[in-house]
């Protein structure tokens, strides 16, 4: 029903945000991975990829900064016993890429480290999702690799210009999350400088 929403963030909580889209406020459930990269800022618009889950007792809208996280989430909830809230907990304990790799590598120890996930559920996730996660990898791996390389180049360039890494890393990650298809170094650097100069 909803593919994405774009607007200003007017409220944040550890696992949810409120987005103002042209005067309509949407509450989106988020992972810590997503919410930690978002802040209330009337001068900044965010694009969140969405998944609308309809159940007998609730209608819940989930939001993700990256399409990759949304796709991992959608695979997780296909497994019996994994609700939207459980999938969100998994993506709050691990990054989307860590979840993706742990299932492909059958890393039960890492999967079990997530809140609410026992041995049997971890085994079920690995058995049912390994092949599907590998297919997702073939779609997204090159993009993830390219983005990772470009991110490091931009951060290094900003360090040379005198900006501290702890600040530039947050800024660059936020920009890439909103413009995940734009991996041109000069474009990313321009956006990062503009953001840093207007802080």
DSSP 163-194: --HHHHHHHHHHHHHHSTT---HHHHHHHHHH
CB 99 within 8 A of CB 126: no
* Confidence class for position 138, pLDDT limits 50, 70, 90: low
Taking CA 94 as the corner, what is the angle to CA 92 and CA 100, rounded to the nearest 5 degrees? Answer: 120
3-state secondary structure of 142: helix
> Is the model more confident about 102 or about 155?
102
pLDDT value for 191: 84
- How many CB atoms are closer than 10 A to CB 182? 13
pLDDT, one tens digit per residue, over 28-79 is: 999 998 988 888 887 888 999 999 998 878 889 999 988 999 999 999 999 9
Query: Which pair of tokens denotes residue 144?
Result: 């993830």
Instruction: Using the predicted structure, report yes or no on whether residue 177 has a pLDDT greater than 80.
Output: no
Q: Report the pLDDT value the prediction gives residue 141, as an integer from 0 to 100.
A: 47
3-state secondary structure at position 140:
helix
Inform me whether the pLDDT recorded for 144 exceeds 60: no
pTM: 0.69
Q: Is the distance from CB of 117 to CB of 111 less than 8 angstroms? A: yes
CA distance 8 to 111: 34
For residue 112 the two structure tokens come to 């079990």
Residue 9 neighbours by CB distance under 10 Å = 20
- Identify whether the C-beta of residue 19 lies closer than 8 Å to the C-beta of residue 7: yes
Q: Percent of the chain, pLDDT > 70?
A: 88
Q: How confident is the model at residue 147 (pLDDT cuts 50, 70, 90)?
A: low
**Whether the predicted pLDDT of 112 surpasses 80:** yes
Q: What is the DSSP string of 71-136?
A: HHHHHHTTSTT--HHHHHHHHHHS-HHHHHHHHHTT-HHHHHTSTT--HHHHHHHHHHHHHHHHHH
């Amino acid at each position: 029903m909803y593919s994405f929403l774009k607007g200003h963030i007017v409220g944040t909580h550890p696992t949810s945000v409120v987005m103002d889209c042209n005067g309509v406020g949407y509450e989106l459930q988020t992972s810590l991975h997503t919410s930690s990269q978002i802040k209330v800022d009337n001068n900044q618009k965010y694009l969140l990829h969405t998944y609308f889950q309809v159940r007998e007792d609730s209608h819940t809208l989930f939001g993700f900064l990256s399409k990759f996280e949304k796709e991992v989430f959608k695979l997780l909830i296909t497994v019996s016993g994994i609700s939207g809230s459980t999938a969100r907990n998994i993506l709050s304990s691990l990054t989307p890429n860590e979840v993706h790799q742990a299932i492909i590598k059958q890393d039960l120890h890492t999967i079990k480290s997530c809140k609410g996930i026992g041995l049997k559920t971890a085994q079920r996730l690995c058995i049912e999702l390994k092949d599907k996660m590998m297919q997702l990898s073939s779609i997204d791996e090159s993009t993830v690799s390219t983005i990772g390389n470009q991110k490091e180049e931009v951060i290094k360039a900003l360090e040379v210009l005198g900006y501290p890494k702890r600040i530039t890393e947050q800024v660059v990650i936020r920009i890439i999350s909103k413009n995940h298809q734009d991996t041109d170094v000069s474009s990313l650097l321009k956006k990062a400088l503009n953001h840093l100069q207007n802080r």
